[in-house]
Amino acid sequence: MNALEERILKEGRLLPGNIVKVDGFLNHRVDVGFLRELAREFKAHFGEKKPNLIMTVEASGIPLATVCAEEFGVPLLFAKKAKSDNIEGGLLTSEIMSYTYNKKVTLIVSGEWLNEGDRVLVIDDFMARGEAMRGLAKIIEQAGAELIGIGIAIEKGYQGGGDGLRSSGIDCYSLAIIEESSGGGIRFRERELG
């Protein structure tokens, strides 16, 4: 069991509707020193592929993606979920279903900041059905950039998003994969190392 799995068991709770609540250290009162350890694991896995850009979606993925960007020594770009008057120029967009909010949202990146030839590593804190990840993949393709992999802290394996991405050939690497839980317990998928 790795450090993240241990921490999930210690602090995480399952709420009704299979919502995994680990806000305490991952996306509310965020333990940035711990995110640094996770970033190092992503560096060990993805470092050889030499990404030149880290991407994520606002808002809860940003702290982890920020630390990863510094760890890889590359810039951070995050997709917004609504049009801001501050974004000028050509927009890259992708409509996705947000099951957290139960509505469609549009991911938006200004074409100015994502370029042909960029080697993009996508980082996010959580993945369930993988909608946001597919949306980012589409935006990266629109820009003529290359998706070199997806790094997730906690994947809800029983929702199938990660396996879908992996079966389409994407290097999707999750540090903890929660399988279907019953009786209030949390069970992790055995991980292949590396």
Q: Is 15 in the site for a copy of itself (CB under 8 A)?
A: yes
- Alpha-carbon gap, residue 94 to 175, rounded angstroms: 26
How far is CA 187 from each of CA 5, 9, 53, 133, 166, rounded to the nearest angstrom?
Answer: 9, 9, 33, 24, 21
- Which one of the spans 94-102, 133-141, 164-172, 178-186 is the region binding a copy of itself (CB under 8 A)? 94-102
Q: Is 182 in the site for a copy of itself (CB under 8 A)?
A: no
Cβ atoms of 151 and 145 closer than 8 Å: no
For a copy of itself, which residue of 69, 121, 140, 145 counts as binding (CB under 8 A)? 69
For a copy of itself, which residue of 113, 138, 164, 181 counts as binding (CB under 8 A)? 113
Beta bridge partners, 177, equal 155
What's the sign of the alpha-carbon dihedral 52, 59, 95, 134?
A: positive
Closer of 30 and 136 to a copy of itself (Cβ)? 30
* Tokens at 12, concatenated: 């995480």
Neighbours of 160 (CB within 10 A): 14
- Which one of the spans 58-66, 133-141, 156-164, 173-181 is the region binding a copy of itself (CB under 8 A)? 58-66
Give the nearest distance from C-beta 142 to a copy of itself in angstroms: 17
- Alpha-carbon gap, residue 55 to 74, rounded angstroms: 10
By CB under 8 A, name the binding residues for a copy of itself: 15, 19, 21, 23-24, 28-33, 35-36, 53, 58-59, 62-63, 66-67, 69-70, 73, 75-78, 80, 84-86, 88, 100-102, 110, 112-113
